[in-house]
Amino acid sequence: MIKNKANEQKLLCKQEIITSIDHTTRIKNYDNISRTKAYEDFYRHHPEIKWAFLASLVSRNAGWSMTDLQGKWFRKALSMEERSLLFMTYECANWTIFQDAFPQLLLYQWSKRVKEPLFDLLEHFDVSQFMVHEWKEFWLNRNTERLMVALIINEQNVIQSPVINNALYKRLVFKTIPYRIQNFLHFSTVVFPTLNGKLFGFSVTNFDQLTNRIELGKRLAWLLFDAGLYHSFLAFSKSVPHTGSRFDYEQFFPEKRKRETPLLRTAYPEVSHTIDVSKQDWFHGQSTKKWFKVRKIPKNYELTEWFKHKQGQLHLLSLLQEYWRNG
**What is the distance between the alpha carbons of residues 66 and 62, in angstroms, rounded to a whole number?**
6
Residue 11 has pLDDT above 70, yes or no: no
CB neighbours (10 Å) of residue 241?
11
pLDDT for 150 equals: 98
pLDDT (0 to 100) of residue 189 = 87
Which of 118-132, 170-184, 190-204, 227-241 has the least mean pLDDT? 170-184
According to the model, what pLDDT value does residue 242 have? Answer: 98
Task: Give residue-wise pLDDT tens across range 64-96.
Answer: 999 999 998 888 877 888 889 889 999 999 999
The predicted-structure confidence for 90-108, as pLDDT tens digits, reads as follows 999 999 999 999 999 999 9
Angle among Cα 37, 39, 41 to the nearest 5 degrees reads 65
Top pLDDT among 38 and 177 is at 38
Across 160-187, average pLDDT: 67
DSSP letter (8 states) at residue 190:
E
Distance (Å, rounded) from C-alpha 256 to C-alpha 270? 32
pLDDT at position 176 = 61
The domain tally of the chain equals 1
User: Does the pLDDT at position 21 exceed 80?
Assistant: yes
Query: Where does the pLDDT of residue 109 fall: very low under 50, low under 70, confident under 90, or very high at 90 and above?
Result: very high
Residue range 187-205, pLDDT digits in tens: 478 999 999 999 999 987 7
Confidence of residue 326 (pLDDT cuts 50, 70, 90): low
The reply to whether the predicted model has a pTM over 0.75 is: yes
| Structure confidence by residue, pLDDT tens digits, 316-325 | 666 666 666 6
Q: Per-residue confidence at 327, pLDDT binned at 50, 70, 90?
A: low
Residue 108 sits in which domain range? 2-325
Distance CA 14, CA 6 (A): 12
Using the predicted structure, report yes or no on whether residue 168 has a pLDDT greater than 90.
no
242 vs 296, higher pLDDT: 242
pLDDT > 70: percent of the chain: 87
Q: How far is CA 20 from CA 2, 13, 175, 187, 256, in A?
A: 27, 11, 41, 41, 46
- Mean pLDDT, rounded, of the chain: 89
Average pLDDT score over residue span 105-120: 97
Asked if residue 184 has pLDDT above 50, the reply is no
The mean per-residue pLDDT over the stretch 169-175 comes to: 72
**Going by DSSP bridges, is the β-strand pair 199-203/189-193 parallel, antiparallel, or unpaired?**
antiparallel
Helix (H) or strand (E) holding 146: helix 144-159
Task: Count CB-CB contacts under 10 A for residue 28.
Answer: 19
CA atoms within 13 A of residue 222's CA, in its CB half-sphere: 15
Q: Is the pLDDT of residue 112 over 80?
A: yes
- Is the pLDDT at 186 greater than 50? The verdict is no
